A and B are shown apart, each in its own frame.
Chain A
Amino acid sequence: EVQLQQSGPEVGRPGSSVKISCKASGYTFTDYVMNWVKQSPGQGLEWIGWIDPEYGSTDYAEKFKKKATLTADTSSNTAYIQLSSLTSEDTATYFCARGSWELGFDYWGQGVMVTVSS
């Protein structure tokens, strides 16, 4: 069974960074890209970017290029997103989602709530 288990809720101070994890199981980690999606409170979905764990290649939406850094550790089948220079605009739930162009985002993590507060 495919599962994406994300880390727990985070609270970050303005200007700081947080790093969220997404541990994959039930499939070959390097066979799919891992996407990250942002959902601000009461709002819709925004695609942040993807990482190909096999090659470490990444692609980001322009607005997140200076905000998010995607990495992956194939030894632990875990993908990460680091959010830097936190502001109140970064308060949101962040989802990881397994992806392929053919199948779309077929499995999602449970989401991680990031709260930016002083």
Chain B
Amino acid sequence: DVVLTQTPSILSATIGQSVSISCRSSQSLLDSDGNTYLYWFLQRPGQSPQRLIYLVSNLGSGVPNRFSGSGSGTDFTLKISGVEAEDLGVYYCMQATHAPWTFGGGTKLELK
């Protein structure tokens, strides 16, 4: 199975600070069809996960543009340009290039 390693596991930030989360894959996530099936989700405390980013860098509907995704192959990054209070929670990357689909272990974003 593909292992997705997220770093850091805990991220402390102040409001307005820009932060980045890394997601590294044990295998390339570039599919033979040319797509890279890498997604990002945020799970706020007590809530269901919500999709932020699809196909590495595409912003989900209704997601603020302070979120951005980048990367290729095995290395991917989620950036938040100016953390707001509503951004606190656990972030997960997920891949759907290789079966079974797998999630990263999560990065908890908390207030410093």
Contact = CB atoms under 8 A, between A and B. Distances in A.
Contacts of A97: 49
Contacts, number: 59
Contacts of A59: 99
B100 A61 contact: yes
Nearest to A61: B100
* Interface size class, chain A: 20 to 34
Query: Is chain B's interface secondary structure helix, strand, loop, or mixed overall?
Result: loop
Contacts of B43: 45
Given A45-B49, A95-B48, A111-B48, A105 B41 contact: yes
Interface in B15-64: 35, 37, 39, 41, 43, 48-51, 54-55, 60-61
B48 A110 contact: yes
Contacts of B104: 44
Contacts of B100: 47, 60-62
A104 B103 contact: no
Interface residues of B, number: 25
B52 to A, nearest CB: 10
Interface in B58-112: 60-61, 90, 92, 94, 96, 99-106
A80 interface: no
A102 B50 CA distance: 16
> Would you list the 3 A-B pairs with minimal beta carbon distance, nearest first?
A61-B100, A104-B39, A108-B48
Interface of B: 35, 37, 39, 41, 43, 48-51, 54-55, 60-61, 90, 92, 94, 96, 99-106
Given A45-B94, A101-B96, A102-B54, 16 more contacts: A44-B103, A44-B106, A45-B41, A45-B92, A47-B100, A61-B101, A95-B48, A103-B54, A103-B60, A104-B39, A104-B54, A104-B94, A105-B39, A105-B94, A106-B51, A106-B54
